[in-house]
């Protein structure tokens, strides 16, 4: 469970966490598990032109948009970042991220690498986590088992996966999703550590430093 490092005075801004990783690695599964055990983490819901999969809900999994609607969101500068991925557009609504961070709450963005790099330019203080599969064979197996993609789409996603993993160096942390609960625990451990960074408590720590000098 994330905490506030035992201080009563909370750092003003929430932490922005970006979780990326190849299609099928288990980002969605790990995020759902995190949702259940980390109540104080807010999830950014993206806009996409991709069609809904069975069971996906508007406003919960994505805001499903036509290409025209998506392009006008770009034009109105409503997206913090956006990217084209395997033939569809995906983007992060900007206002929700801003208001969540301003309210002092942590927010997690589950987005692909190109978008993550754009976010890093705007929020270098964000925490960038890359989720890896135990192996590429296991990754392909997971996409096949999920049963949502055609053979062509699986090939495209595996090609995209290789390109994405090549950009791992831009991330702060690499986590292997061998078992969902372990991957979850690792992300929680990262959040705990980030909450203890001294930079987040400078006004409080300043008083301590004045007392000890
Ligand atoms: N740049 C960007 N990527 C996103 C966004 N939302 C989702 N994605 C990424 O788009 C990719 C495809 O997502 P999706 O079609 O749901 O497939 P899945 O991740 O294989 O289940 C994944 O890597 C997502 O993390 C977004 O708002 N911006
Ligand atoms: N640690 C894991 N071990 C085995 N299977 C997993 C694991 N994590 C996720 N999966 C399975 O892999 C498939 C892809 O997971 P999903 O969350 O849809 O990936 P992503 O959101 O990264 O595309 C799903 O069928 C899911 O149940």
Q: Give residue limits of the domains in the chain.
A: 16-45+105-212
Given a contact cutoff of 8 angstroms between Cβ atoms, the answer to whether 123 and 16 are in contact is: yes
Given a contact cutoff of 8 angstroms between Cβ atoms, the answer to whether 19 and 115 are in contact is: no
The answer on whether 14 is annotated among ligand-binding residues is no
Cα-trace Rg, the chain: 18
> Ligand 1 mean position to 48 CA, how many Å?
8
d(CA 31, CA 130): 13
CA-nearest residue, atom 5 of ligand 2: 142
Q: Name residues whose C-beta falls within 8 Å of residue 93's C-beta, 6 or more positions apart in sequence.
A: 44, 45, 46, 47, 63, 73, 78, 79, 80
How long a stretch of residues is the chain? Answer: 213
Structural fold of domain 16-45+105-212? Rossmann fold (3.40.50)
Look up the pTM and report it: 0.92
| Helix, strand, or coil (residue 16) | strand
Given this model, what pLDDT does residue 169 score? 95
Q: Is the shortest distance between the CB of 112 and ligand 1 below 6 Å?
A: yes
Given this model, what pLDDT does residue 8 score? 59
Write out pLDDT tens, residues 117-127.
Answer: 999 999 999 99
| Helix, strand, or coil (residue 176) | strand
> What percentage of the chain exceeds 70 in pLDDT?
95
> Ligand 2 mean position to 95 CA, how many Å?
29
Biggest alpha carbon–alpha carbon distance for the chain? 66
- pLDDT score of 51 more than 90: yes
Given this model, what pLDDT does residue 57 score? 95
Which atom of ligand 2 lies at the shortest distance from residue 131's CA? 22
> Ligand 1 mean position to 11 CA, how many Å?
30
Q: Is the shortest distance between the CB of 53 and ligand 2 below 6 Å?
A: no
36 backbone φψ class: left, alpha, beta (φ>0; ψ -120 to 50): alpha
Q: Is the shortest distance between the CB of 115 and ligand 1 below 6 Å?
A: yes
Sheet holding 127-132, edge to edge: 41-43, 106-110, 16-20, 127-132, 173-176
Q: Name residues whose C-beta falls within 8 Å of residue 94's C-beta, 6 or more positions apart in sequence.
A: 77, 78, 79, 80
Q: Which of 17, 18, 19, 23 to mutate to test the pocket of ligand 1 (most atoms within 8 A of CB)?
A: 23
How far is residue 112 from each of residues 11, 101, 154, measured CA to CA in Å? 28, 21, 16
Write out pLDDT tens, residues 165-204.
Answer: 999 999 999 999 999 999 999 999 999 999 888 888 887 8
């Amino acid at each position: 469970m994330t905490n506030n490092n035992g201080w009563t005075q909370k750092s003003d801004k929430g932490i922005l966490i970006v979780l990326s990783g190849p299609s099928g690695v288990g980002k969605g599964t790990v995020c759902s598990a995190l949702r259940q055990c980390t109540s104080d983490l807010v999830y950014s819901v993206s806009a996409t032109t991709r069609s809904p999969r069975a069971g996906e809900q508007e406003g919960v999994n994505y805001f499903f948009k036509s290409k025209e609607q998506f392009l006008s969101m770009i034009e109105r500068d409503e997206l913090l970042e956006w990217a084209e991925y395997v033939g569809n557009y995906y983007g992060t609504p900007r206002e929700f991220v801003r208001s969540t961070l301003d309210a002092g709450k942590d927010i997690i963005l589950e987005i692909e690498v190109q978008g993550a790099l754009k976010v890093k330019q705007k929020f270098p203080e964000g925490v960038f986590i890359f989720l890896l599969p135990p192996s590429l064979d296991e990754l392909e197996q997971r996409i096949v088992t999920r049963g949502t993609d055609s053979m062509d789409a699986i090939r495209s996603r595996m090609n995209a996966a290789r390109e994405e993993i090549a950009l791992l160096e831009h991330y702060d942390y690499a986590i292997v999703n061998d078992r969902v609960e372990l991957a979850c625990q690792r992300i929680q451990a990262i959040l705990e550590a980030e909450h203890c960074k001294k930079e987040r408590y400078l006004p409080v720590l300043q008083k301590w430093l004045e007392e000890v000098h």
